[in-house]
């Protein structure tokens, strides 16, 4: 099992216990998680995330292939193209972006260019809808949630784009999915960490209507309990018991296949 | 044990488990899938291993009057639906009688009517601030009957929010101070707002027991609750998201509570604060008599 939505490092708006990679690995062992895609939480709030990426790679290095770095790259920061190539060289499966925290709105051409460039390198783009429930946010946490319009816009940037959208709920997922063409829908994967289970059964409804191949396992550790997405899967109705979600390799593989196809056509 | 039987074992183990914060829907709740949602709660409850759902119906859930400001008529219709459900599911459902404190006479008459038919607690929404004097007759009635009051709470009220007259831990603490013989359940520390504000706000009020329900599964929340209040003050519950309820049970295992502390949160605290004899299946399953600890 791959957790595509893990992080290390502190969070500026509340205390988070032990957000270190060594603790993450112990939690993964306990929960039966083989590999985690790991971002650097403080970098979401840095003006320049580059030092955070250096720290991320250094912190994860002792844990080999179990913790795969997911660097943060701003499309409005000079030389971001170099950062994308560096991410690839460090074995990253994806990169993270935080448009609300950076004031990058829907329709921003730079975000589309970054998504395409990442896809060309076989890297998915991890988008985070929210870190915390709207109702508990610090007064200085004014960025707001990532919007469905922003996700649709990036998904439409081109065939090489692969998005992993973390921390979305049912309404946003449905709004985005059914607002895309069938081809565009194939570029978007949804992490299940914030989707409600029973009795509303939002996850079950989404798996039936949109399909399990569009969903991936994610926890949003260290902000949230790793036990939550696992419990959600355990409580699916009988007809969905044991359903297989998409795996991280499938996301990267799809991006790589798209890159090869484009190269062949060229 | 065979593989088939093992697959049916409750995910949260076979020890008694009381969901102190549940809701059911009914035909006048304005949604076509109301019966499916109720069935899903029972399905997940069986899978988790919930012994009792202690539940309320919140009027019409906004269909004919607002969820948090239900009209007296909708309160009565909802309570009737809850009474009917209890009658159909006597082995696994218990009832909070819902009231709107802005209608004092109606609230008190509903408590009397539903308690006579088996309601074991009182549900207050967000129709009036928790420390408002209008809540005093209801709290006094609760104390006299030994019925806990489950009060909807917004953890740390910094401003008004639409559709609710929200209360936080400090508001409830003022009511609890005026009614030391009443027991209050502070709703869903995972249900939105800043729970870290709640813990110190109620720490000195032992007649307030928070339930740990809600969609929020912040890492550190349960550890902080146990550290601030102790396991003897916490109640397990799900509210609207049962997967987070199961996740919290699993997290309680991970934070290395003693077996007594886990039992307290799972069911013993609930058995202690609700009326004597409310949960007979807990006593028979455990071999212990929870009523021995009832007030």
Cβ pair B240:A199 closer than 8 A:
yes
User: For residue range A153-185, what is the model confidence (pLDDT) as tens digits?
Assistant: 999 999 999 999 999 999 999 999 999 999 999
Would you say residue B5 has pLDDT above 90?
A: no
Q: Does A235 touch chain B (CB under 8 A)?
A: yes
**Number of inter-chain CB pairs under 8 A, A vs B:** 102
Note the pLDDT of residue A257: 52
Query: What pTM, to 2 d.p., does this model score?
Result: 0.94
Name the minimum distance, in Å, from the CA of A192 to any CA of chain B.
Answer: 12
Cβ pair B217:A224 closer than 8 A:
yes
Note the pLDDT of residue A254: 58
- Those residues of chain A that have pLDDT short of 50 are 259-266
Would you say residue B292 has pLDDT above 60?
A: no
Note the pLDDT of residue A198: 98
Cβ pair B47:A237 closer than 8 A:
no
Note the pLDDT of residue B138: 98
Class of CATH domain A2-265: alpha beta
Note the pLDDT of residue B136: 98
User: For residue range B238-252, what is the model confidence (pLDDT) as tens digits?
Assistant: 999 999 999 999 999
Note the pLDDT of residue B87: 98
Would you say residue B104 has pLDDT above 80?
A: yes
Note the pLDDT of residue A263: 40
Note the pLDDT of residue B53: 98
Note the pLDDT of residue A250: 80
Would you say residue B142 has pLDDT above 50?
A: yes
So what's the ipTM on this one?
0.94
- Residue in A30, A198, A228 nearest the CB of B43: A198
- SS3 readout for chain B: CCHHHHHHCCCCCCCCCEEEEEECCCHHHCCCCHHHHHHHHHHHHHHHCCCEEEEECCCCCCCCCCCCCCCHHHHHHHHHHHHHHHHHCCCCEEEEEEECCCCHHHHHHHHHHHHHCCCCEEEECCCCCCCCHHHHHHHHHHHHHCCCEEECCCECCCCCCCCCCCCCHHHHHHHHHHCCCCCEEECCCCCCECHHHHHHHHCCCCCEEEECCCCCCECCHHHHHHHHHCHHHCECCCCCEHHHHHHHHHHHHHCCCCHHHHHHHHHHHHHHHCCCCCCHHHHHHHCCCHHHHCC
Would you say residue B128 has pLDDT above 60?
A: yes
Q: Domains of chain B, with CATH numbers?
A: 16-277 (3.20.20.140)
Note the pLDDT of residue A255: 55
Q: Where are the domains of chain A?
A: 2-265
Whole-number mean pLDDT of chain B?
Answer: 94
Once rounded to an integer, what is the mean pLDDT over residues B264-274?
Answer: 98
Note the pLDDT of residue A131: 98
């Amino acid at each position: 099992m791959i957790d595509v939505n893990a992080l290390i490092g502190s969070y500026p708006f509340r205390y988070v216990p032990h957000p270190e990679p060594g603790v993450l690995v112990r939690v993964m062992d306990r929960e039966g998680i083989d590999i985690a895609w790991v971002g650097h939480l403080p970098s979401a709030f840095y003006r320049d995330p580059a030092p955070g990426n250096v720290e991320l790679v250094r912190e994860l290095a002792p844990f080999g292939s179990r913790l795969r770095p997911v660097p943060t790259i701003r499309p409005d920061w000079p030389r971001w193209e170099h950062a994308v190539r560096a991410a690839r060289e460090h074995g990253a499966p994806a990169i993270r972006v935080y448009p609300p925290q950076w004031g990058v709105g829907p329709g921003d051409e730079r975000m589309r260019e970054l998504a395409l460039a990442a896809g060309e390198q076989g890297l998915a783009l991890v988008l985070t809808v929210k870190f915390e429930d709207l109702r508990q946010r610090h007064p200085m946490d004014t960025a707001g949630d990532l919007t469905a319009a922003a996700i649709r816009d990036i998904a439409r940037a081109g065939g090489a784009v692969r998005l992993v959208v973390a921390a979305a709920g049912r309404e946003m997922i449905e709004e985005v999915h059914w607002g895309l063409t069938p081809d565009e829908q194939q570029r978007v994967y949804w992490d299940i960490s914030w989707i409600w289970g029973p009795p509303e059964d939002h996850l079950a409804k989404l798996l039936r209507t949109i399909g399990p191949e569009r969903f991936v396992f994610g926890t949003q550790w260290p902000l949230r309990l790793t036990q939550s997405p696992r419990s959600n899967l355990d409580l699916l109705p009988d007809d969905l018991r044991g359903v297989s979600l998409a795996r991280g390799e499938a996301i990267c593989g799809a991006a790589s296949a798209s890159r090869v196809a484009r190269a062949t056509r060229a | 044990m065979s593989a088939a039987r093992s697959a049916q074992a409750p995910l949260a183990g076979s020890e008694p488990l009381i969901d102190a914060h549940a809701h059911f829907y009914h035909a006048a709740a304005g949604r076509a899938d109301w019966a499916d949602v109720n069935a899903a709660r029972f399905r997940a409850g069986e899978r988790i291993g919930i012994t009792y759902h202690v539940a309320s119906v919140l009027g019409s859930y906004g269909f004919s009057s607002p969820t948090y400001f239900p009209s007296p008529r909708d309160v009565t219709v909802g309570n009737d639906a809850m009474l009917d459900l209890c009658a159909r599911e006597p082995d696994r459902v218990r009832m909070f009688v819902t009231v709107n404190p802005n209608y004092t006479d109606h609230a008190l008459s509903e408590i009397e009517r539903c308690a006579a038919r088996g309601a074991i607690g009182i549900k207050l929404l967000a129709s009036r601030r928790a420390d408002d004097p209008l809540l005093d007759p209801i709290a006094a009635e609760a104390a006299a009957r030994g019925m806990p009051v489950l009060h909807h709470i917004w953890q740390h009220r910094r401003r008004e929010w639409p559709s609710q007259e929200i209360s936080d831990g400090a508001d409830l603490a003022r009511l609890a101070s005026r009614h030391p013989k009443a027991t209050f359940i502070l709703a869903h520390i995972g249900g939105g707002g800043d729970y870290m504000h709640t813990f110190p706000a109620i720490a000195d009020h032992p007649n307030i027991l928070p339930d740990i329900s809600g969609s929020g599964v912040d890492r550190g929340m349960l550890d902080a609750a146990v550290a601030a209040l102790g396991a003897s003050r916490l109640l397990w519950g799900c509210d609207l998201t049962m997967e987070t309820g199961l996740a919290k049970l699993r997290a309680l295992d991970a934070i290395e509570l003693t077996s007594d502390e886990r039992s307290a949160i799972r069911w013993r605290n609930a058995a202690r604060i609700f009326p004597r004899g409310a949960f007979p299946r807990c006593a028979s399953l455990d071999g212990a008599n929870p009523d021995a600890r009832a007030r």
